[in-house]
């Protein structure tokens, strides 16, 4: 048995990570798209399980998350089942966070392959406005934070500022070219 790959997808709010991953899961059964646990109601567009803050903390305290982080006043976690999938040699795709990238590297080492999904500021602004979850001031703050991602070095970038089909095509091409472990266990 060989170790799998953890494709760690990051990007600013509104860049279309959930849409990309939903389409990737539909097209590529060989890429297991992991769900996240979040302490807010799901929009229905994302692959997540809503938990109360108490339930989230209970699970974290009992080691049921292999990775967790806090962002924008919310808790996010990833279940330990992905470690089983990776140990079985599968490719796992995760909607991660730049804030948790260092922790993810520490936990998953060489099997972690980060990718940053990007789109220009006007595309992000339009998508965030259409989503309707934030005030105009909150949207501008998110856009300002999205510029911080430009400082990430050595991370592949996928442009999802146009049609979803083009973003998915770029993600699939990158996925097919990304290294695969060939060390036998």
- Phi then psi for 71, rounded to 5 degrees? -150, 135
Candidates 3.40.50.620, 3.40.50.300, 3.30.300.30, 3.90.1640.30; CATH matching 5-176: 3.40.50.300
Alpha-carbon gap, residue 96 to 114, rounded angstroms: 9
Rounded distance between C-alpha atoms, residue 46 and residue 44, angstroms: 6
| Residue % of the chain over a pLDDT of 90 | 58
pLDDT tens sequence across 82-124:
999 999 999 999 999 988 999 999 999 999 999 999 988 888 8
């Amino acid at each position: 048995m060989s170790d799998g790959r953890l494709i760690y997808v990051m990007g600013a709010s509104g860049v279309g990570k959930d849409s990309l991953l939903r389409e990737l899961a539909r097209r590529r059964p060989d890429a297991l798209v992991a769900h996240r646990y979040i302490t807010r109601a799901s929009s229905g567009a994302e692959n997540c399980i809503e938990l109360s803050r108490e339930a989230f903390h209970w699970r974290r305290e009992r080691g049921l998350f292999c990775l967790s982080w806090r962002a924008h006043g919310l808790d996010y976690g990833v279940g330990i089942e992905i470690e089983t999938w990776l140990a079985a040699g599968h490719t796992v795709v995760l909607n991660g966070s730049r804030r948790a990238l260092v922790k993810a590297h520490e936990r998953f080492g060489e099997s972690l392959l980060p990718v940053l999904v990007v789109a220009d500021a006007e595309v992000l602004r339009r998508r965030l406005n259409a989503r309707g979850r934030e005030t105009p001031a909150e949207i501008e703050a998110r856009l300002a934070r999205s510029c911080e991602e430009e400082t990430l070095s050595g991370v592949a970038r996928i442009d999802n500022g146009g049609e979803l089909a083009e973003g998915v095509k770029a993600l699939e091409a990158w996925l097919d070219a990304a290294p695969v472990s060939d060390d036998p266990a």
